[in-house]
Chain A
Amino acid sequence: MKSLFKLFSIIIIIVVSNSYSFAAEKVEYLKTDWSFKGLFGKFDRASLQRGYQVYTEVCASCHSMKYLSYRNLAEPGGPEFSEAQAKAIAASFEVTDGPNSDGEMFTRPGKLSDKFVMPYENVKAAQAANGGAYPPDMSVLVKARGGGVDYIYSLLQGYEEAPSNVSLDEGVYYNKYMYGNKIRMAAPLSNGLVDYGDGTNATVEQMSKDVTTFLMWSAEPHLEARHQMGFKAIVYLIILTTLVYFSMKKIWSRVESEV
């Protein structure tokens, strides 16, 4: 058993040293209590719905979310809009479909099975409309940034007057959490920018938290199922390991040797 402890301490050392080695150039991000962290972490349903509202009213004018479909909004583990609500949301978008039997493309109201409508036809159009900068697709944005949710949450609140030694070009803004501190996106949020249906006060901090929660879900739509299954799997493994341990002790008691 002694060697077993050694073994696991080595595993832990390797893991810890690795997570440290990737955490170079760490900036202190703003912290908030995320409901989806931890062994039993779940999304805050109301926050996800508000986050969707922020996304669709603010971010979606520039940022696509091409891997999500409107049906996802009604699926378990997500914002869990009712199916009628999700249908209404989908129908509020014009979707290009076709070609029809005359060979023409046409537009129709969106359906649950449609992917989120993109703000621009293509990357070039997006760049042309944003001074050459491409607003990244937001589907997996949280996983595509080193700091994850804390980084996005901080970035949204990190706009400041540039220090006097930093000169900014036209259309470039100062953000203390951005890599290199220069960002092509103007501060997207301001107090009271959206009108929350549930009466929550739409402060920049609140909107940042809500939309970041929504982005976490969009990147990991099965996070809740994963946490639930993980807990069951690990409890099952621990019980089985214990049983096997005692069976092993019993079997090895036949020979004069330690296990």
Chain B
Amino acid sequence: MSDHDYRPKSKVGQWFNDRLPLLTLANHLTDYPTPKNLNYWWTFGGILTFCLITQIVTGLTLAMHYIAHADMAFESVEHIMRDVNYGWLIRYIHANGASMFFLAVYIHIFRSLFYGSYKSPREIIWILGIIIYLLMMAAAFMGYVLPWGQMSFWGATVITNLFSAIPLVGEGIVTWLWGGYSVDNPTLTRFFTLHYLIPFLILGLVVLHIWALHVPGNNNPVGIDIKKPSKDTVPFHPYIVIKDGFALLMFMIVFAFFVFYAPNILGHADNYIEANPMVTPAHIVPEWYLLPFYAILRSVPDKLLGVVAMLSAILILAVLPWLDTSKIRSAVFRPLYKQFYWILVADVLILGYVGAMPAEGLYLLIARVATAYYFLHFLVILPILGFKEKTLPVPLSITEPVLGGSPNLAAARNKESKIE
């Protein structure tokens, strides 16, 4: 943010930049001072940008051939798979791209949780991220409906029916959402419209997310505030660009493996059966990335409370910066939090697992315990931990591993001057 005095070298550049300072922006982006100790967990921001653009480009191409009509949607997907040039490739990239997108976003979120990136002064970045994540779930859910297979239809029926849990107006809302008295053609066309719209909303929010990031700058594995630019930072280009590029390529190898050699492994076989309102599938399961929330929904016996629990599980993240009372950001210096962090990771994986299983017997019991623990972590453990935990000494800077630092730069400077 320091280089607003940037002036392009060429006359034309100056003329243009005086009228629209795009070159100043480009200069800011390339020079952007980035902590030099960022590890590979920090490369997922770039990977997610790649995922979003991939989904938009492949999605636009698919939309040129797809027909949003209850009688023709399934057939048009088969037309894409068989007769459109490289249609199979575009569709498999798009379908697996959704899974890759969520894989990356979960890593991105859990990185933030580990290193305390959501804490002051980065709360707005975090909240924007949660909104993006919510929109991603909406987009993915509606995208899954579009092929109009059995799981599309019944998934849409189950999820839209959740709104009927709202007292008094619930039934009316569901009818309004459907555009009729069951999931049918009007539902499909509006889902298609929204599925087309949401990625562009996400794109706009991503711009805000990055903008908000560029105000305080990146957090880092040590979790301390650093002077920018300084010995602790490197310019974004070429250092971070090449590193993000390397990580992206590694990610693309995994992506390519799914697209070319296991394109249907993350999907459900029932979605290759055309939607049939008269036949209910044996098990209705959402895509893997929604399973933890599905498990929370089903673990509550009451429908309305189940919906409330599921929504709270996501929305609780938005207030996380205020639930976590610890002043120390990085789990590296929080021995207790580090353990609770890994318990939370295991808890969410367990929720995902039981979400795929029938909600009965032992599975239901596990789901209930795991759901309770999920809320316990955020509502009880985190607030108390901030006061009780004995944290390790934090270094003053990245380059000089002097202990006795503080996450607050001003405080650190005070300490520095006292030492001198």
Contact = CB atoms under 8 A, between A and B. Distances in A.
B377 interface: no
B356 A21 contact: yes
Nearest to A252: B239
Interface in B26-47: 36-37, 39-41
Interface string B243-279: 1011101101110110111011110111011000000
A43 B357 CA distance: 35
Interface in B261-317: 261, 263-266, 268-270, 272-273, 282, 288
Contacts of A143: 264, 269, 272
B164 to A, nearest CB: 28
B103 interface: yes
Interface of B: 36-37, 39-41, 75, 78-79, 81-82, 88-89, 92, 103, 107, 234, 238-239, 242-243, 245-247, 249-250, 252-254, 256-257, 259-261, 263-266, 268-270, 272-273, 282, 288, 349, 352-353, 356-357, 399
A255 B239 contact: yes
Nearest to B282: A179
Contacts of A220: 88
Nearest to B232: A257
Contacts of A222: 81-82, 88
A162 to B, nearest CB: 22
A245 B250 CA distance: 10
Contact of B246 (A17, A144, A241): A241
B41 A39 contact: no
Interface in A109-161: 136, 139-140, 143-146, 148
A79 to B, nearest CB: 15
Interface stretch (A47-55, A195-203, A224-232): A224-232
Interface residues of A, number: 52
A165 interface: no
B36 A234 contact: no
Nearest to A240: B249
A171 B263 CA distance: 37
B95 to A, nearest CB: 12
Nearest to B36: A257
Interface in A42-96: 67-68, 72
A231 B261 CA distance: 9
Which among B82, B245, B288 has the greatest number of chain A C-beta atoms within 10 A?
A: B82
A208 to B, nearest CB: 20
A230 B82 contact: no
A4 interface: yes
A227 B261 contact: yes
Nearest to A19: B265
A26 to B, nearest CB: 14
A39 B89 contact: no
A241 B41 contact: no
A237 B399 CA distance: 34
A120 B353 CA distance: 43
Contacts of A72: 82
Contacts of A10: 107
A168 interface: no
Given A14-B349, A234-B256, A257-B36, 8 more contacts: A4-B247, A21-B353, A72-B82, A230-B257, A234-B260, A251-B238, A251-B242, A256-B399
Given A14-B103, A139-B78, A241-B246, A255 B234 contact: yes
A237 B265 contact: no
Nearest to A13: B349
